[in-house]
Structure 1
Amino acid sequence: MGDVLRVAVVGAGGWGAQHARIFSRRRDTELVGIAGRDPGRTAARAAAFDTTPYTDLDTMLDEARPDLVTVCLPNEAHFEPTLHLLRRDVPLLVEKPLVFSLDEADKLLAEAASRGLFFAINLNHRFAEPVARAKAAIDAGELGDVVFATWRFGGEPNFGTSPHANLIETQVHGIDMLEHLCGPIDSVAAQMTDMTRPGTYTTLAVALRFSSGAVGSLVGTYDSSYAYPGTHLVEVNGTRGRLLIEDTVKRLTVSAAGDPTRRVWEAGYFDDEARTFEYTFDRHVERLLGAFRAGEEPPVHAREGRRALALAHAIIRSFEEGARVAV
């Protein structure tokens, strides 16, 4: 591994373009290949980023010799390619969700652990400026003891074959975010509806209990629109104050109990980086490459994807059984 890391991207879809953008533009990485299933689309994507297209993973690995591979495939197509890459001893950054099955998640984590491989997942909401500042405020005790927290997020659907795509591939960010800010969730009670697409649960509401004794809620939906104002909201309320995160990168507001004044962060006029959602991924990559070069664990290990999946399965079980489920 030289000063310039050789990186290959698996996936030529929409978000895969963000992977290609980042690794083709950094001075300390070289984008050495893009692998995809569709030859035409893969060739076009590779041409756009001045690299080599591949339609076979082994050919890419043998010819491009990447130091790190990133995986950005359709949500329900992660397992086999990820397992294959791990068995080729390739360090990986994979997109969320890790997989849809806990058994598959365990197989991937065991394979990576047995080979001592760097295995990261992109839960990039953590790296938004309002989220980083919110985490610092909570950790500094500005809110006192957290009493309740809320996540609400929804927009246009991204349907697959799973009836729980909204939960597992979209609200995974909410599950991860609430635990990132407030600590472990120890039980869940869920309601879901398939009224707009029978057999597919497009909207869900979950009551949460944290190990700390705090409570929370998660509302996630495909029956909304990203065009609506207030698409995303996180509220954390403590004994001494409250904070609100709006639209992930838009605004953080911190208030002290009993004080009508507020402290607000918003990106300044020239700060396009902090106001741009896609650049939360750039921030993650910056941290990730530092850890990779230092031989450390990634800032968000793939086991965090497994944790979010375990909570998602507990939510599904709660809905199906009509009962609160311990995690």
Structure 2
Amino acid sequence: MNEALKVAVVGTGGWGAQHARILSRRHDVELVGIVGRDPGRTAARAAEFATTPFTDIDTMLDQARPDLVTVCLPNEVHFGPTLHLLQRGVPLLVEKPLVFDLEEADALLAEAERRGVFFAINLNHRYAEPVQRAKAAIDAGELGDIVFATWRFGGEPNFGTSPHANLIETQVHGLDMLEHLCGPISSVAAQMTDMTRPGTYTTLAVALRFASGAVGSLVGSYDSSYAYPDTQVIEVNGTEGRLIIEDTVKRLTLSVAGDEMRRVWEAGYFNDEARTFEYTFDRHMDAVLAALRAGQQPPVHAREGRRALELAMGIIRSFEEGVRIAV
């Protein structure tokens, strides 16, 4: 049996607790530390998961010597700590969004390339059971040629300092998912509104064109609620069929053109794992650790975070200039 991998978590927020939960429960991992800025909060989190608290990244690296570090910090402060960890040559799994600035994204990727560092990003929607089944159906040609695709997602806001937080830190999942299922997006045309919070664009609608010739749309909102039914919906429509994914993990429906019968997947009575959104991250972690052990590239490389940011910047430019932007 392979020796347990030593893994540390940087960040003590709510989603950081999911990092610690996953790692602390694995038999092939030793959770060797949690790093936070607040000593009391960090000590409490470390005690909860029976590991060591640190308030300094370098101290943690020197004492714990982790094989992998996961980074879950406030969305707009990713750059400095991530760059520092890359400069120390540590394999990383970082939360989305990668950063809010393309030059910073390029600097991180260049540092990782220069040092040959494993550099993954947690775009965990890809690991939902309906998404994986949808991807398999598309790849098998069940939908024929894709003609259009839609993404709609939104709920309560997570305001930061960026006027485009909804787009860059939340709809990153949609931008990544549409390309994951339908191939590269070639151009975008956007509308946004700040009617509920002047200066902050809480809702946006984007018309998309894919390199394949297909078209699509993305609607993302902080003016909605996660309590509403159909908080998140994906539709992909092809020449031979259609699929719909509801609430990421809830249900996949596959239809054949001209046939009123449908095939539906949803988690069965004993399959709680597949219906739990947080467990999509457990599945991604399985793939991350397997790739790291095998000396392979990450299953979702950080460059995918850079690509989503590039698309977001094109969307911002489209809105500001009132034109379609090639990406």
Q: Which residue of 2 aligns with 1:226?
A: 226
Structure 2 CA distance for aligned equivalents of residues 58 and 114 of structure 1: 20
- Which residue of structure 1 lines up, in the alignment, with residue 72 of structure 2? 72
Partner residue in 2 for 1:213: 213
* SS, match of residue 237 in structure 1: strand
CA distance in 2: counterparts of 1:291 and 1:215, whole angstroms: 34
Q: Aligned equivalents of 1:125 and 1:53: distance in 2?
A: 30
The yes-or-no answer on 1:312 pairing with 2:312 is yes
Show CA shifts across 1:169-215 (max 9, x none). 00000000000000000000000000000000000000000000000
**Aligned-residue CA RMSD (Å):** 0.5
Q: CA separation in 2, counterparts of 1:45 and 1:222?
A: 29
Superposition map of 1:4-23 within 5 A: 4-23=4-23
AA in 1 matched with 2:161: T
Aligned partner of 1:277 in structure 2 is 277
Could you tell me how far apart the structure 2 residues matched to 1:41 and 1:91 are? 25
SS at match of 2:23: helix
Q: Does 1:195 align with 2:195?
A: yes
Give SS of 1:248's match.
Answer: coil
TM-aligned CA deviation for residue 19 of structure 1: 0.2
Q: Which moved more, 1:35-44 or 1:225-234?
A: 35-44
Q: Offset at 1:38?
A: 1.2
Deviation at 1:322, TM superposition (A): 0.2
Once residues 229 and 295 of structure 2 are traced to their aligned partners in structure 1, the CA distance between those partners, rounded to angstroms, is 42
- Alpha-carbon deviations, 1:153-183, whole Å to 9, x = none? 0000000000000000000000000000000
Shift of 1:316: 0.2
Separation in structure 2 between the aligned mates of residue 3 and residue 104 of structure 1, nearest angstrom: 35
Which residue in the other structure is 1:263 paired with? 263
Q: Does 1:147 align with 2:150?
A: no
Shift of 1:10: 0.1
Tell me the percent identity: 83
Q: Quote how far apart the aligned CAs of 1:263 are.
A: 0.1
* Deviation at residue 39 of structure 1 after TM alignment: 1.2
Q: Which amino acid aligns with 1:233?
A: V
Say yes or no: does 1:238 pair with 2:234. no
TM superposition shift of 1:37: 1.0
Q: Does 1:128 align with 2:128?
A: yes
| Paired position in structure 2 for 1:249 | 249
TM-score (norm 1): 0.99
Q: Structure 1: which 5+ runs fail to align?
A: none
Is 1:95–2:95 an aligned residue pair? yes
Q: Deviations over 1:45-99 (max 9, x none)?
A: 0010000111100001011110000000000010000000001110000000000
What SS class does the counterpart of residue 105 from structure 1 fall into?
Answer: helix
Report the equivalent of 2:81.
Answer: 81
Deviations 1:14-51 (A, max 9, x none): 00000000111100001000001111111110010000
Distance 2:246 2:41 in 1: 35
Task: Give the AA of the match of 1:144.
Answer: G
- 1:221-266 CA-to-partner distances (Å, cap 9, x unmatched) read 0000000111000000000000000000000000000000000000
* Distance in 1 (alpha carbons) for counterparts of 2:325 and 2:242: 28
The number of aligned residues is 326
2:118 maps to 118
Quote the Cα distance in structure 2 between the aligned partners of 1:88 and 1:287.
Answer: 24
* Residue matched to 1:53: 53
Amino acid at match of 1:109: L
Q: Name 2:291's counterpart in structure 1.
A: 291
SS in structure 2 opposite 1:233?
Answer: strand
Distance 1:310 1:279 in 2: 28
1:137 counterpart residue number: 137
Distance (Å, rounded) in 2 between the aligned partners of 1:33 and 1:311: 35
What residue is the counterpart of 2:301 in the other structure?
301
Aligned-partner Cα distance in 1 for 2:159–2:312: 17
